[in-house]
Chains A and B, each alone.
Chain A
Amino acid sequence: MSAEPSFAAPASRALVSIRRVSKQFANGTLAVRDVDLDLAQGEFVSLLGPSGCGKSTLLRMIAGLGAPSAGTIDWPTAVHDADGRPQRDLGFVFQDPTLMPWATALANVTMPLVLKRMNRREADERAAEMLALVGLKGFEKAYPRELSGGMKMRVSIARALVTHPSILLMDEPFAALDEITRHRLNDDLLRLWADQRFTAVFVTHSVFESVYLSQRIVVMAARPGRVMADLTVDAAYPRDDLFRTSAEYAHLCRVASETLKKAIAL
Chain B
Amino acid sequence: MSDSVLPASVPHDGTDAEARPVFVTERRVLGIPVSTWPSILAPVAIGCLALAAWEAIVRIKGIPSYILPGPLLIAQTLVADWGTLSGALWITLRITFAALIAAVTVGVALAVVFTQSKWLEKSLFPYAVVLQVTPVVSIAPLIIIWVGDINLSLLICAWIVAFFPILSNTILGLNSADHNLVNLFQLYGATRWQTMRYLKLPAALPYFLGGLKISGGLALIGAVVAEFVAGSGGSASGLAYRILEASYQLKIPRMFAALVMISMTGVAIFLATSFVAHLLLRRWHESAVKREN
Contact = CB atoms under 8 A, between A and B. Distances in A.
Interface of A: 60, 63-65, 88, 90, 92, 94, 96, 98, 100-103, 111-112, 114-116, 132-139, 143-151, 163, 177, 180-181, 184, 188, 191, 194-195
A191 B283 CA distance: 33
B21 to A, nearest CB: 7
A151 B6 CA distance: 11
B16 A151 contact: yes
24 contacts: A88-B187, A92-B183, A94-B184, A98-B180, A100-B181, A100-B199, A102-B202, A102-B203, A102-B205, A111-B188, A112-B188, A115-B188, A115-B189, A115-B198, A116-B188, A133-B5, A135-B7, A135-B8, A136-B8, A137-B5, A143-B284, A144-B284, A181-B19, A184-B6
A143 B180 contact: no
Interface string B170-189: 00000000101101111111
A98 B181 CA distance: 6
A102 B289 CA distance: 13
B16 A150 contact: yes
B117 interface: no
Contacts of A116: 188-189
B9 A102 contact: no
A78 B243 CA distance: 75
B133 interface: no
Contacts, number: 102
Given A64-B187, A112-B188, A150-B19, A132 B202 contact: no
Contacts of B20: 146-148, 151
Contacts of B16: 148-151, 177, 180-181, 184
Contacts of B25: none
- In the A-B complex, the 4 residue pairs with the smallest Cβ-Cβ separation, listed nearest first, are A150-B16, A135-B6, A148-B19, A98-B180
A188 B6 contact: yes
A112 B188 CA distance: 6
Interface in B1-18: 1-2, 4-9, 14-18
Interface of B: 1-2, 4-9, 14-21, 23, 178, 180-181, 183-190, 194, 198-199, 202-203, 205, 283-286, 289
Contacts of A63: 187
A163 B190 CA distance: 14
B2 A133 contact: yes
Nearest to B190: A115
A188 B286 CA distance: 31
A142 to B, nearest CB: 8
A126 to B, nearest CB: 14
Contacts of A136: 8
B17 A96 contact: no
B202 A100 contact: yes
A138 B284 contact: no
Contact of B184 (A98, A132, A144, A150): A98
Contacts of A144: 284
B40 to A, nearest CB: 27
Contacts of A92: 183-184, 187
A180 B198 CA distance: 34
Contact of A151 (B17, B181, B187): B17
Contacts of B185: 115
Given A65-B186, A114-B198, A101 B19 contact: no
A138 B9 contact: yes
Contacts of B205: 102
A31 B89 CA distance: 65
A98 B4 CA distance: 27
A157 to B, nearest CB: 13
A147 B5 CA distance: 18
Contacts of A151: 16-17, 20
B189 to A, nearest CB: 7
Contacts of B186: 64-65
Contacts of B178: 98
A139 B8 contact: yes
B8 A138 contact: yes
A206 B186 CA distance: 29
Contacts of B6: 135, 184, 188
Nearest to A136: B8
A134 B17 CA distance: 13
Nearest to B181: A98
Contacts of B7: 135
